[in-house]
Chain A
């Protein structure tokens, strides 16, 4: 169910003021299941479908969003959108974003800011953990993301394990 408000009959859309607050925390602050995912990614080192199967078997994949770029210098595209994001931004938005770059997201400020975190996770090849508070995209919400990135000959991918804390 979407919580976005669409104004279809008001002429030009009102500019949306988006505020994003990203707080970098240590992985110790993450939920147990987020820590489990980070540990498994670290253990496997390379990205494989086995990892996704592992996540599915443990019922954790629903909470994961994956973006990937299959060629160097091309933008990350949404390959999977996790249930928390579907719940916050809606099924329609989610379906329309599969195969699209983050930049196609109408909430450009938000996408850009989170994109920086993705790039950092890919560059680090290590788990990152953030607490993110957003206002101006749908209803205000707070969530944490455990990120893990991979790079393979210019191809990149990032997994975001999302724990929604609050929707106000």
Chain B
């Protein structure tokens, strides 16, 4: 189940509602007010968006309920009814399942990290294995099930866990065009599909560019050799026949300068073709 992105603030309705509630609780009026203005001005699309807007209207700190508005109790009942309907829908178990995925990624990132003792390592490994089995056997919504499995496979992919990438951060997959191998192309595409199908998974990846999305210096270096596979200067072939060369050659060979020049030109031609 998804909440729509509000481009002007870079947050979803659900994300914005949460953020505003946190700021309001801390009394940070200057920070939540512009966010709330933009969120309430946006058009909700999905049930989660509607729920997020209702939550803002009913905020105990700054919403209608807080001001004792006489319509507030009715609005509260509408909100609760919507919440109940959503909870009963087939998407109800998304939350705990996604939490498992998030927890697994967190464990994978810390396994083997510096400062982790052996007991921690064993605990983390066992929990990660148990979670992976749980995620692998999940038979709820098939789109969610496939997407989550794709993310787990991606986390173990050599491009995703390249030693140069930021530790503990799972990168977005590089574009398919960046793949050098068929298998890589398929997994990059698969992960991109998973993120489109289940946008909630996107927050589990970092926006840090994967190493493979950077220019491929190694490949470019080797490719650049195609034009210089053999030194142009080897073997050294004179390109200009000087008068001094002709004179010395003609004297040594005992022929006319023109005959020597013709002979030298023919010989150089053969050398270039060799």
Q: Which residues of A contact B (CB under 8 A)?
A: 1, 46-49, 51-52, 56, 61-62, 66, 68, 70-71, 78-83, 86-87, 91-92, 94-95, 98, 150, 152-153, 155, 157
Contacts and interface: CB of A to CB of B under 8 A. Distances in A.
Contacts of A1: 235, 274
Contacts of A61: 228, 231
Contacts of A87: 234-235
B219 to A, nearest CB: 7
A86 B230 contact: yes
Contacts of B229: 78-81, 98
Given A52-B224, A52-B225, A47 B218 contact: yes
Nearest to B232: A62
Top 4 closest pairs, chain A to chain B, by CB? A83-B234, A48-B217, A49-B224, A62-B231
Nearest to A78: B229
Given A46-B218, A52-B221, A82 B231 contact: yes
A110 to B, nearest CB: 20
Interface residues of B, number: 23
A36 to B, nearest CB: 18
A91 B232 CA distance: 11
B181 interface: yes
Nearest to B273: A91
A163 to B, nearest CB: 15
Contacts of A71: 181
A46 B235 CA distance: 31
A83 B233 contact: yes
9 contacts: A46-B217, A49-B220, A62-B231, A62-B233, A70-B180, A86-B231, A153-B158, A153-B162, A157-B221
Contact of A94 (B158, B159, B230): B230
Contact of B221 (A49, A81, A91, A95): A49
A141 to B, nearest CB: 16
Nearest to A154: B158
B262 interface: no
